[in-house]
Amino acid sequence: QKRKQDNKLDRSSTNFQFNDTDPPICQKYYICTMSPSTDHKDLPLVPESVLKRRHDLDDLKRKRQAIKDDVVGRKSSGKRQAKRGEYVRKPETFLAKAKQRRNEHTRYRRVKKKGMQKRASKDPVIETKEIETVAAGNDTQNQKSEVKVIKYQANSAGAPFVFVMRIREDAGAPPKCVLNILNQLRLKEPNTGVFVRYTPVTRRHLHLVEPWVVYGKPSNGIVEDLMERRSFGNVNGERVPLSDNTIVENALGSKHGLICMEDLVHELTGPGDLFDVVAKFLWPFPLSSSRSKFEKNLLALKQGKDYGDKGEEIDEYIKQML
C-alpha cells in the first residue's frame, strides 16, 4: 500500500494520468525494446562484400573527380585550387635539393670554363664487348653457345649527327642556363629524343647538359624503326602522326622535293643537305622510360644513372625505350 501511495504521489506531481492497471514504467520500456520489429522484413539483404565494394568505388570516383577539378583549375587560373592532400616535407629534402643545385651550378661553370677535361675525347675510342650466341639447330639440348668479341666505338667523335634523348626530369631544379640549352635542343620533356648535327657548337652544348641527356650515333636500322614507330610531324604547329606519305608530300614536297618516309630516313642517315629541314619538321620523338617501375619505387635509384656520350652503344639504349 505504501508503494502504491508513492506511485500516486509521483504521478500527480508530473501531471501524468495513469491507471493502476498499467505496468511500471521500467517494465513497459523493457517490453517495448525486446519486442521483435516487423517493419523491415521485406527489405533485401545485401552482402557485406558488396557494400564494401560500393564504398571503394564511390571513394575512387570522388578522388578522380577531385583530380580532374584540380587539373581544370590549374589550366584556367594557373594555380592549384584544390589540394590533393596535406603532407609534411622533411628539412633534409630541402637541404639535399639545395646541395644538388649548388653542385650543378659548380659543374656548369667548370665545364663552361675548362671543358670536359678527362671524360670527353676528340678522337674515336674503340672498345670491345662479348656477346654469347647459340648455334641454330633442331636439338635444343645439345646446342652449343659461342662467345664473340665485337668492337664498337664508345664515343661520337667524328659522327656527322647524333640522336639526343633527355632522361632526367626537373625534380632537382636544374639551373636556368641548363634549361635554356635543353629548350634550344627542343628537349622540354623527359624521355624525348631529337636528331642533331654533331658540330663543335652542339658538342659543347651537350657537354654542358650531359647529366640530363644520353646521346650517340644510331645505326640506319634504328633510325628506320624510330621513323616507323614513333615519328610525328610538325604541320602548321600541330603534332600529326606520320602514318601516310601524303602528309610528308604536302608539307615538304613542293619546297624540298621530299615525298615519302624513305626520303626522310635518307636525309637523316646521310646526312643530306636537308638534314636541318627534316630535323625541324619532325616532332621530338616520344619514348618510354628506360627504368622499370620496380627500379623507380623500390630501389629508388638516382636520376641520370646512365648519361652522356654512348657512341654506337646508343642502339641498345633506344631499343629499351621504343
In the chain, the N- to C-terminal Cα span, in Å, equals 99
Give the pLDDT of residue 27: 44
pLDDT of residue 29: 41
Query: Which are the contacts of 138, defined by CB distance < 8 A and separation ≥ 6?
Result: none
Report the distance separating Cα 278 and Cα 273, nearest Å: 10
- Least Cα distance to 116 among 305, 308, 303, 302 occurs for 308
318 burial (CB, 10 Å; 0-12 / 13-18 / 19+) is buried
**C-alpha cell of 171?**
625534380
Task: Label the pairing between strands 161-166 and 145-153.
Answer: unpaired
Question: What are the tens digits of pLDDT across the range 172-183?
Answer: 567 788 889 999
Q: What was the pLDDT predicted at 113?
A: 86
Q: Which residue type, as a one-letter code, is found at position 36?
A: P
Cβ proximity of 257 and 290 under 8 Å: no
H helix and E strand count, the chain: 12, 9
The pTM of this model reads 0.65
**Rounded to whole angstroms, how far apart are CA atoms 132 and 149?**
9
The pLDDT score that the predictor gives to residue 70 is 76
pLDDT at residue 316, as a whole number: 87
Q: Report the alpha-carbon distance of residue 107 to residue 96 in Å, rounded.
A: 16
Per-residue CA distances from 108 to 65, 192, 198, 302 (Å):
43, 22, 20, 19
Instruction: Residue 146: name the closest of 136, 154, 138, 158 by CA.
Output: 136
Q: Which stretches of the chain drop beneath a pLDDT of 70?
A: 1-43, 73-87, 117-119, 135-143, 170-173, 290-305
Strand partners, 161: 197
CA 297 to chain centre: 12
The amino acid at 114: K
pLDDT of residue 139: 59
Query: What CA–CA distance (Å, rounded) separates 227 from 268?
Result: 10
